[in-house]
Amino acid sequence: MNDVASSDAHIRLGMFEAACDILAAAVIVYDRDDCLVFASRQVLRYFPIPADTLKPGTRLRAVLGAIFDSGVRYGIAPEQRHRAVNREEWISNQISAHWREQYDAIERLGRDRWIHFRKRRLPNGYNVTTLVDVSEQKKQEEQWRSDLDRVALTEEILETLPSPVVIKDRNLTYIAVNKAFCAIYNANADGILGRTVWDLADAENAERIERSDRMVLETGEPFTQPEHVIGADGSDFYAITRKYRIGAPGHHAVVTVMEDVTALVAGNRAVSDEGDAFLRVPGGFVEGQNCFDPVRDAERRLLLEQLGTEDVRAAAGKRILVATPNPRIEDILVSEFKARGADCCAVASVEEHDAFLALAASHGLSIDLVVIDDNLPGHEAISDNGRGIATRLIAPDGIGPDFMRVLVEEHELLSQNASPLGDIVTPASLVDDWYIATDITTMLPAAIGDVEVLVAEDNQINQFVFSQILEGMGISHRIAENGEEAVMLWRKHQPRLVLMDISMPVMNGIDAAKEIREAEKLTGTHTPIVAVTAQALNVDMQNCMDAGMDDYITKPVSPDMIEAIYRRYAAREPEKSVA
């Protein structure tokens, strides 16, 4: 029977050893008297001690002494590792840990080796210790932390770069953008990430941008393109756009960097402070995306005017709640307040308002201001909330898809002097007085330059853009909806400058310019006429010059573009000559 028991024990011991090898774990078992019962072969991989030390019956103290003598130290606090360690003190500390009911720790052995110790004291007094090498896991964790730190640093650098930077994945979806790029569209990163260029740009520009993206993605060849972009605020942005492919095969991405050269651009070339050209752009700047939304800009101005400058300027650092059922008003006001340093969010009903304030109060947060849309059902209860919270009531009628229609309807009800938009859509009467004179000195004073700029444009949105730009510059102007009307208003007002759209109904811009030039032969004057074209084709430009026009600009127009043209031509005094 003893032989059978001995054989079974050997079988079990062999199976235990095999299991330890399979699990890549070292196992040590001590009895209640701290004598060694079993130690797997794996133990010698962790501790360079004599094999005889691991014979059954060896005392725990002897095993720990051999480990200490081999130069291995574990179980020492990091702040004490630089100090000399007393042998007996170290052994006593390890025996103390050995007698705990449970002990679990990851210890560093040497420079780059990490061991996971697990010790369990069983009810019968036996102690089972397992050792597992977790060096690779620790290295991966350290690499992961290092990567996170590097990503955070890269994102911080990306955000602070003055030039717009955008990264797209292999599906050409935006996966990273910086503040400078968001500023072009007056959007935040959340509104761009996960989308494609087709969601942000018009079809023509989206196709052009995607074509170059795919070329870079497929070939790996860098791409460079000078671009002229109209920002969301209407300003001109000139950039040298460069695209690069990064990443491993199958995980490529496209990085786009837009080098801002706006401050250096004069026409189609960049100039130094001394005025000498040092960077030539032979093909000129490609007309890129027009991000300026005149309707949104008008809506934004209307809302801010209703709020008042004091509330807008004092928004920094405050908690502001916007109560409106209109998503467009929510988007505009929340964006504006956040841009001014406020903590702002929105609710869409009185119930949401009450629930939000209750939740904020439960967390000890106070609300400084509630902006209320008077189109919100039951808004009177918010205005008289009795909570001591400041409120501002706004009446943003028409903001949304029908904003332009509301503007037109209101404009038709207002006189010219009362209208905040000037002459945008109301055509001049065909019976308006007009003047013909062979000598400009014989013309009535009111007819000589009482309007600085005449705009001939048939598109209502473009009319609105011109009006907003010119009003912002403090320039008096009139709007003509076709060439015939433009000639009539020119005769009446003798403007300093005419901005003439080429394609218009009734009479196009070319014929209108010719008629004005014929009439000027009688008055002996010359009014600068600048063509406004959808695209600068050579044949169009030649036709404009042949009709007697002085210059041309291309759509989309921007405040900087109009200001430059105005300074070039309208600042001059009207010329006088003898017919």
Name the token pair of 222.
């860098």
Domains recognised in the chain with CATH numbers: 2-138 (3.30.450.20), 161-290 (3.30.450.20), 294-394 (3.40.50), 404-570 (3.40.50.2300)
Residue at 381: amino acid letter:
A
Nearest residue to 46 (alpha-carbon basis) of 134, 109, 112, 120: 109
CA distance 562 to 466: 9
| Cα distances (Å, whole numbers) of residue 387 to 355, 366, 549 | 14, 10, 65
Strands 165-168 and 25-30 come out as unpaired
CA separation, residue 309 to residues 36, 220, 370, 376 (Å): 83, 51, 16, 23
Residue 241 pLDDT: 92
Quick one: pLDDT at residue 395? 80
Decide if 527 contacts 521 (C-beta within 8 A). no
Cβ contacts of 56 within 8 Å, gap of 6 or more = 35, 36, 37, 38
Q: How far apart are CA 523 and CA 517, in angstroms?
A: 10
pLDDT string in tens for the chain (579-residue length):
455 445 565 566 666 667 666 667 788 888 988 898 888 888 888 888 888 888 889 998 998 888 888 888 777 776 666 677 888 888 888 888 888 888 888 877 767 788 888 888 888 888 888 888 888 888 888 888 887 888 788 778 888 888 899 999 989 999 999 988 888 887 888 878 888 888 887 777 888 899 999 999 999 999 999 988 888 777 788 889 999 999 888 889 999 999 988 877 644 444 444 444 445 666 678 888 777 666 777 777 888 888 877 777 788 889 999 999 988 888 888 878 887 788 899 999 989 988 998 898 888 888 889 999 888 888 887 876 566 788 888 887 667 655 555 554 444 444 344 444 344 333 333 334 444 444 444 444 334 456 899 999 988 778 888 888 888 888 889 999 889 889 988 988 889 999 999 888 888 899 999 999 988 887 788 999 999 887 656 667 788 888 899 988 888 888 888 888 898 888 754 444 333
> How many Å apart are CA 150 and CA 256, to the nearest integer?
20
* DSSP secondary structure, 274-338, as one string: TS-EEEE-TT--EEEEE---HHHHHHHHHHHHHH-HHHHHTTTT-EEEEE-S-HHHHHHHHHHHH
Query: What is residue 35's predicted lDDT score, i.e. its pLDDT?
Result: 92
For residue 40, the 8-state DSSP code is -
pTM beyond 0.85: no
Using an 8 Å Cβ cutoff, are 399 and 375 in contact?
Answer: no
Helix (H, G, I), strand (E, B) or coil at 62: helix
Q: What's residue 516's pLDDT? A: 92
Q: Distance from CA of residue 239 to its chain's centroid?
A: 17
Asked if residues 166 and 256 have their Cβ atoms less than 8 Å apart, the reply is yes
Query: Checking phi first, is residue 215 left (phi over 0); if not, alpha (psi -120 to 50) or beta?
Result: alpha
Radius of gyration of the chain (CA): 39
- Residue 425: per-residue pLDDT: 38
DSSP per residue, 152-213: HHHHHHHHH-SS-EEEE-TT--EEEE-HHHHHHHT--GGGTTT--GGGTS-HHHHHHHHHHH
Strands 319-323 and 369-373: parallel
| Cβ atoms within 10 Å of 358's Cβ, excluding its own | 9
3-state secondary structure of 345: strand
CB 478 within 8 A of CB 419: no
Characterize the bridge pairing of strands 497-501 and 25-30.
unpaired
Contacts of 269 (CB under 8 A, 6+ apart): 277, 279, 280, 281
pLDDT of residue 577: 37
Taking CA atoms, 430 is separated from 177, 374, 415, 459, 507, in Å, by: 53, 41, 17, 20, 15
